Amino acid sequence: MAKISLKQPVWVVIICRRALIVEVVMVFILLIILVIVAVAIVAVVFSKRQKEEAESTTEASYFEGGFWHYVGLSLGGFLVCLITLGIAFPWVCCWFIKWRTDHTVVNGKRLQFTGKGISLFGHFLLKGWLLGLILGPLTLGLYWIYYFCVSLKKWEVKNTSFKDN
């Protein structure tokens, strides 16, 4: 009878270990995706409930956005930025601004945001990076504070209006 050796070559052990690491990473990614889907489902259910409650109120101005919807949007935005190495950051900013304005009612009129990610990308590229590289060091970083606090808010307000009913 032939002997079976239980000792395997080193390269086989290395390949098996790498395959195990890949499998663990894939399971981790699938778990993250499942959590995001679950949060999104919960967010939809809660946002419908909050919208019904907000429509029944008699207040003239209110915000009807929900916590779980925000959490789902945050996780999705984080993953998109992570996958695209930050290139999609302007589009994620637009998602947040749109979510905030779409859930805001002022004096009985709903707000709407019409800005696009590509427009904000150009804004980021021109004012944030190109001018920031020149003016940032010259102003000891004060330009970046102005840019992120004031200039982006001006862009947001310029692209926000009341929705026509």
More confident call, 97 vs 57: 97
Q: Is residue 2 part of a domain?
A: no
Closest CA to 121 of 93, 146, 149: 93
pLDDT in tens, 108-122: 888 899 988 888 888
pTM above 0.75, yes or no: no
d(CA 114, CA 102) in angstroms, rounded, equals 10
**SS3 state of residue 126:** helix
d(CA 6, CA 2) in angstroms, rounded, equals 13
- Cβ atoms within 10 Å, residue 93: 21
Q: Is residue 3 part of a domain?
A: no
Q: Is residue 148 part of a domain?
A: yes
Q: Is residue 5 part of a domain?
A: no
Q: Is residue 147 part of a domain?
A: yes
d(CA 34, CA 47) in angstroms, rounded, equals 20
Q: Is residue 7 part of a domain?
A: no
What's the structural domain count of the chain?
1
Give the domain range for residue 82.
12-162
Q: Is residue 6 part of a domain?
A: no
